[in-house]
């Protein structure tokens, strides 16, 4: 083995979106969540990673590509709609170059957007033939990227634990789908919202999972005091490793007030030409109803705290990239000093685990992909103390770790499930539990279904999983697209109730099942028997 470094950096990007697919509409507003994330986060990250590989930069990233996101990335309808969306953005960028020709404070930014959109088209359409999942798979084969899974629909497992079959199904169906997609079993899992409860690791171990992630207090409040805090993993009694989030590095990136993304040189997220420009000019690029929405073209920088959007100053890409380079250097320096100090108290190099939502990089923090690009290049070229690592590589190097049971925990406000269980969303759980009870009953009663019965049972499992998505409870809590979240929860539960009645009565309507298969087509090879008692 090569000489040990001072410390390890484990960067984890959680790439997830709720499953949103509406073939019944020509222009679905919520599908734009996926289009925006593709253009602003997933393709720019792919471009950064491929550039690092091309230039011989040795880096490591752990990335959860969740089953709902992978399903959308590989869905023919959504891929076609995204391609058209990308062409529309390129058309708009060309118009913006003409509109700003005599506006020097905006013209360079307009040209920047055209370059970025054309890069996305070149990467998505020309290079990877609209198969972005295949592109990430190729990166994983280089050893630079470790792809892990997540619960089948990002269910919040601590609040499903009263029915172990429901938790097991979330994990088992995700593992099956990952294996189908990437050709190998996932070694790790991102439990939705970092949700953990004692006993969950037994289900993970049963499905072949070797590691997962927790917020810091899940490790620090384990049933035995962790000798190395969050700077080494714990082994649960089942042998599954739990890696804890480092609070210091998280704060410097997550916090819009104290962290890097709040720098005044960075792009302002909330001012967009979809709201600023004349309606008739922008109309072809917003929702078909005429509802003004963000287009992704934004010309202003943060400028300062507590300023009205009308007071923002023009964005300058060069200044923002200089800021990203400086912040990458600062992040690296801080991790070097952090691990240098920690190394004195440990029998091994500390591992600093830095988990973030992938959408932070590019969507919320426009310069985030550039920050990562600078960071990995600086780590590779400018120092030798800090080494990037994946959890699997760490466990291979250090197979002996302290045994303890982490505490029930999540990330999010207060860290104990409150975001997903409070006044705005607590009504959903009695219905989710009843739906799971019915699914378990059907799986046990019909273990060898065929024909239309098999189709109905598979669709019932899909509807339950989609209802269990933690995204709906989160949206209700944050008070954003609340009606949509409520409708999705209700619709899937009603679909499940209708399927249950048909199955149990022995009168299944093929047309009803076919319509649901057309609308909610996630997990084509789903095994409904995952809900059966063991």
Closest to 298 in 3D by CA, of 262, 258, 265, 269: 269
Q: Strand, helix or coil at 442?
A: helix
Could you tell me what percentage of the chain is helix, strand and coil, using 3-state DSSP and rounding each to the nearest 5? Answer: 55, 10, 35
Residues 503-525 pLDDT 10s: 999 999 999 999 999 999 999 99
Q: In angstroms, how far is CA 511 from the centroid of its own chain? A: 34
Domain of 145, CATH number, reads: 3.20.110.10
- Residue 162 and residue 290 in one domain: no
- Residue 49 and residue 155 in one domain: yes
- Residue 470 and residue 497 in one domain: yes
- Distance between CA atoms of residues 324 and 365, nearest Å: 10
State the Cα torsion 338-344-348-350 to the nearest 10°. Answer: -10
- Residue 468 and residue 426 in one domain: yes
Give φ, ψ of 176 to 5 degrees. Answer: -60, -45
- Residue 182 and residue 307 in one domain: no
pLDDT < 70 regions, the chain: 1-2, 256
Please tell me the predicted confidence (pLDDT) of residue 251: 85
- Residue 164 and residue 56 in one domain: yes
Domain boundary among 414, 449, 482: 414
10-12-18 Cα angle (round to 5):
170
Please tell me the predicted confidence (pLDDT) of residue 250: 87
Residues 151-199 pLDDT 10s: 999 999 999 999 999 999 999 999 999 999 999 999 999 999 999 999 9
- Residue 445 and residue 522 in one domain: yes
Domain that holds residue 483: 422-531
429 domain-assigned: yes
Please tell me the predicted confidence (pLDDT) of residue 1: 47
How many domains is the chain partitioned into structurally?
3
Please tell me the predicted confidence (pLDDT) of residue 534: 81
């Amino acid at each position: 083995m090569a000489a040990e470094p001072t410390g390890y950096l484990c960067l984890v990007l959680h790439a997830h979106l709720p499953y949103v697919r509406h073939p019944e509409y020509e222009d679905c507003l919520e599908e734009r969540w996926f289009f925006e994330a593709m253009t602003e986060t997933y393709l720019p990250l792919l471009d950064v990673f491929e550039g690092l590989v091309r230039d011989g930069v040795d880096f490591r990233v752990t990335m959860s590509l969740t089953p709902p996101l992978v399903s959308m990335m590989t869905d023919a309808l959504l891929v076609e709609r995204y391609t058209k969306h990308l062409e529309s953005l390129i058309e708009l960028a060309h118009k913006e170059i003409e509109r700003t020709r005599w506006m020097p404070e905006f013209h360079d930014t307009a040209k920047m957007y055209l370059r970025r959109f054309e890069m996305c088209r070149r990467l998505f359409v020309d290079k990877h033939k609209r198969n972005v999942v295949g592109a990430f798979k190729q990166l994983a084969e280089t050893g630079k990227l470790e792809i892990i899974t997540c619960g089948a629909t990002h269910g919040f497992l601590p609040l499903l634990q009263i029915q172990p079959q429901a938790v097991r199904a979330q994990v088992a169906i995700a593992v099956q789908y990952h294996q189908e997609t990437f050709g190998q079993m996932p070694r790790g899992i991102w439990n939705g919202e970092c949700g953990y409860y004692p006993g969950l690791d037994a289900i993970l171990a049963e499905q072949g999972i070797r590691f997962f992630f927790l917020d810091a207090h899940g490790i620090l409040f384990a049933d035995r005091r962790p000798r190395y805090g969050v700077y080494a993993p714990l082994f649960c009694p089942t042998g599954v490793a739990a890696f804890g989030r480092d609070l210091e590095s998280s704060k410097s990136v997550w916090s819009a007030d104290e962290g890097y993304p709040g720098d005044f040189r960075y792009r302002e997220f909330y001012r967009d030409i979809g709201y600023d420009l004349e309606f008739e000019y922008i109309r072809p690029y917003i929702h078909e109803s005429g509802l003004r929405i963000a287009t992704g073209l934004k010309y202003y920088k943060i400028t300062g705290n507590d300023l009205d959007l009308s007071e923002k100053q023009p964005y300058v890409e060069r200044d923002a990239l200089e800021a990203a380079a400086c912040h990458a250097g600062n992040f690296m320096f801080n991790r070097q000093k952090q691990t240098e100090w920690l190394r004195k108290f440990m029998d091994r190099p500390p591992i600093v685990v830095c988990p973030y939502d992938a959408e932070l990089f590019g969507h919320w923090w426009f310069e985030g992909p550039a920050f990562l690009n600078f960071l990995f290049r600086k780590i590779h070229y400018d120092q030798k103390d800090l080494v990037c690592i994946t959890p699997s590589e760490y466990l291979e190097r250090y197979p002996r770790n302290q045994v303890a049971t982490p505490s029930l925990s999540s990330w999010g406000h207060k860290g104990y499930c409150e975001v997903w269980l409070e006044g705005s969303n607590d009504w959903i759980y009695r219905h989710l539990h009843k739906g799971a009870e019915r699914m378990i009953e059907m799986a046990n009663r019909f273990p060898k279904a065929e024909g239309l019965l098999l189709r109905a049972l598979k669709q019932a499992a899909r509807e339950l999983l989609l209802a269990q998505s933690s995204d709906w409870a989160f949206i209700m809590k944050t008070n954003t697209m609340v009606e949509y979240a409520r409708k999705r929860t209700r619709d899937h539960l009603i679909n499940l109730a209708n399927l249950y009645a048909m199955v149990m009565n022995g009168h299944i309507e093929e047309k009803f099942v076919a319509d649901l298969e057309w609308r909610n087509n996630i997990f084509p090879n789903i095994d409904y028997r995952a809900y059966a008692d063991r």
